[in-house]
Amino acid sequence: MELNLCLHHAQVQMRQEEDDVLFRVLARGDGALPGEDAAALHDYFNLGSRMADLSAHWADRDPRFRNIHPYFPGAPRLLPLVCFLPEPSELV
């Protein structure tokens, strides 16, 4: 799987391998330093937080999330726009 994304300072391409995730910077903004790349990815993917803890916290407070929580332990951080999408049954 391959993913292209724009961080606050760089355009990054990521590729998932069988045992690893690789990234390369395609372009950097003015004044951006190569040493900032890994930290920006760490922040973007919120790698400092344990998803299992966050998922349990959300399930305690949100009935909709509580219903799907058992099927997606450690659900990923979603972009805010995703939170406004209708239920799949509402799309038909």
Mean confidence (pLDDT) of the chain: 78
Q: What pLDDT score was predicted for residue 60? A: 92
- Could you tell me the two tokens for 57? 């916290």
Predicted TM-score (pTM) of the model is 0.53
Query: Does residue 11 fall inside a structural domain?
Result: yes
Percent of the chain topping pLDDT 90: 9
Query: Based on the domain organization, do 33 and 16 belong to the same domain?
Result: yes
Domain count, the chain: 2
- What are the residues facing 23 on neighbouring strands? 14
Q: What pLDDT score was predicted for residue 75? A: 55
Q: What pLDDT score was predicted for residue 41? A: 87
Domain ranges, residue 69 = 51-86
Query: Based on the domain organization, do 55 and 28 belong to the same domain?
Result: no
Q: What pLDDT score was predicted for residue 25? A: 92
Tell whether the torsion through CA atoms of 74, 76, 82 and 83 is positive or negative. positive
Query: Based on the domain organization, do 11 and 28 belong to the same domain?
Result: yes
